A and B are shown apart, each in its own frame.
Chain A
Amino acid sequence: MEWIIASDVSEIAAVVEAVAGACVAAGFADKACRLNVPVALTEAMANAIVRGNGSDASRRVRVSACITDDTLRVEVTDEGNGFDLAAARALCEDPEWVEREDGRGVFLMHALMDKVETWCDAGHTVRLVLRRT
């Protein structure tokens, strides 16, 4: 499955619904389909649209999803230069983190997925991996 969307957060819901639906059909656990996949993918897409592409509607976000026998892999690619994933993840160690309005997205991706990888090539890509349990 593949989508190429404009950098508009209103585009997120349809993609998330399709990927979560594919996970249901593939027999992933109910909670993974209801919570882990929708939230983690929403975070990755929102980061790509808002941080990566600066909400510039002329810039595109590519989402591809693949389900094999035991694993979901989703890749979200924007046209930006990426960001320091480790630094973003480390925000949760800040004593003031609970009181912050932002800074939970990367943390949630890691908490809800089995693996999160990022790299810059032709744009910046985040790969989410969830294994079937």
Chain B
Amino acid sequence: MGFAIERDGDLLAVSVDGQLVVGNRQEFKQLVLDEVEQGARRVLIDFSNTGYIDSSGLGALVSLGKRIRERGGELRLAGLNEDLRTLFELTRLDTLFKLYDARDTALVGF
């Protein structure tokens, strides 16, 4: 499990490798917050290599989304497979976030 970050100006892309769960959500959240403090405003989280997300991981995304909006930015989520979409739909978080199948499509107009 781990996170890979790419930064290009105010664009931040974070790939989540493995799971986003109670055991690593704080590391993930702090990593993104640090980048936001350093000017990242367009934030893309790529779940192409993610197995599953638990409620702690979903909560971290909600928290980050609020913080990024407060700073005038936007959070987009990409690479969600059918399983992950199920989680967002069950929790109605598909109404809160913009979800994209792939990173390329998420970057259009971003």
- A-side residues, CB < 8 A to B, are 9-10, 12-13, 31, 34-35, 38-39, 42-43, 46, 50, 92, 97-105, 107-108, 111-112
Contact B83 A102 (CB under 8 A): no
The answer to the question of B62 belonging to the interface, with a C-beta cut-off of 8 Å to chain A, is yes
A43 in contact with B95 (CB, 8 Å): no
In the complex, what residues of B have CB within 8 A of residue A13's CB? 19, 21, 23
CA distance A100 to B93 in the complex (A): 10
Does chain A have a CB within 8 A of B51?
A: yes
Q: Which residues of B contact A9 (CB under 8 A)?
A: 22-23
Known contacts: A39-B87, A101-B59, A104-B59. The answer to whether A50 contacts B52 by CB under 8 A is no
B52 touches A34 (CB 8 A): yes
Q: Is the interface of A mostly helix, strand, loop or mixed?
A: helix
Residues of the B chain whose Cβ atoms lie less than 8 Å from the Cβ of A108: 54-55, 87, 90-91
Within 8 A of A (CB), among B68-105: 82-83, 86-87, 90-93, 95-96
Determine chain B's interface SS by DSSP, over half rule: helix
Q: How far is the CB of A21 from chain B (nearest CB, A)?
A: 13
Residue in A38, A46, A103, A105 whose CB lies within 8 Å of B52: A38
Q: How far is the CB of B97 from chain A (nearest CB, A)?
A: 10
Chain B residues with Cβ under 8 A from A112's Cβ?
90
Interface membership of B56, Cβ < 8 A: yes
Interface status of B58 (Cβ within 8 A of chain A): yes
Does B91 lie within 8 Å of A104, measured CB to CB? yes
A35 to B93, CA, bound (A): 17
CA A54 to CA B6, docked complex, whole Å = 36
- Residue of A at shortest CB range from B84? A35
20 CB < 8 A contacts A-B: A9-B23, A10-B23, A13-B19, A34-B51, A34-B52, A38-B19, A38-B51, A42-B21, A98-B91, A98-B95, A98-B96, A99-B62, A100-B59, A100-B62, A101-B62, A102-B59, A104-B55, A105-B56, A107-B90, A108-B90
Q: Are A42 and B92 in contact (CB under 8 A)?
A: no
- Please report the C-alpha to C-alpha distance between residue A113 and residue B60 in the assembled complex, in whole angstroms: 23
